[in-house]
Amino acid sequence: MPDCFSSSSSYETAATSPPETIYNSKTPIRFPPRGTTSTITDDTVVLDPRNVQQWQLDAASARVEGTTNKLEVRLDKAAAENLELNSEVVLLRYEMEGIFTLRKEDLEKDQRRRNRVLLFCVLAVLAGFLWSWVFELFDFDYSELL
């Protein structure tokens, strides 16, 4: 019986053809050539390859289904977290818009206050020029005021 699990490297020795290789060292199952039926000889179970292939497909399908279920659970969890984060972002945007509106109103108040002060200063300077022009025009003596 050929053994593909021997101590020598598989690169050094040529492997036997797939229909005759051992499937598992604990339960020696070999793949017989097509056309043979299930038989037991020398504690070696020889099966029809379609049955083993179907078993392999079922095992692979079960692994894929398990992985798919795990991924679906992770996807649902990520979607729930995404929804929570989106709601937090919406709340933060709402709060930031409120803060921005208040700041804009404060800036407008400050601008109006500055404009009033500037207007008062300009009017005071103009009044000063007008006052001095009037006194010079009429040759008013400042010493008489004191």
The two three-digit tokens of residue 23, written as one number? 């499937």
Instruction: Count CB-CB contacts under 10 A for residue 51.
Output: 11
* % of residues, the chain, pLDDT over 70: 61
pLDDT of residue 104: 96
The separation between CA 42 and the C-alpha centre of its own chain, rounded to angstroms, equals 59
Q: For residue range 102-111, what is the model confidence (pLDDT) as tens digits?
A: 999 999 999 9
What is the arithmetic mean of pLDDT over 119-127?
96
Predicted structure pTM score: 0.41
Residue 94 phi, psi dihedral angles, 5° rounding: -60, -45
Domain chopping of the chain, boundaries: 1-47, 48-119
Q: How far apart are CA 30 and CA 94, in angstroms?
A: 69
pLDDT in tens, 15-72: 444 444 445 555 555 555 555 555 555 565 555 556 777 888 888 899 999 999 999 9
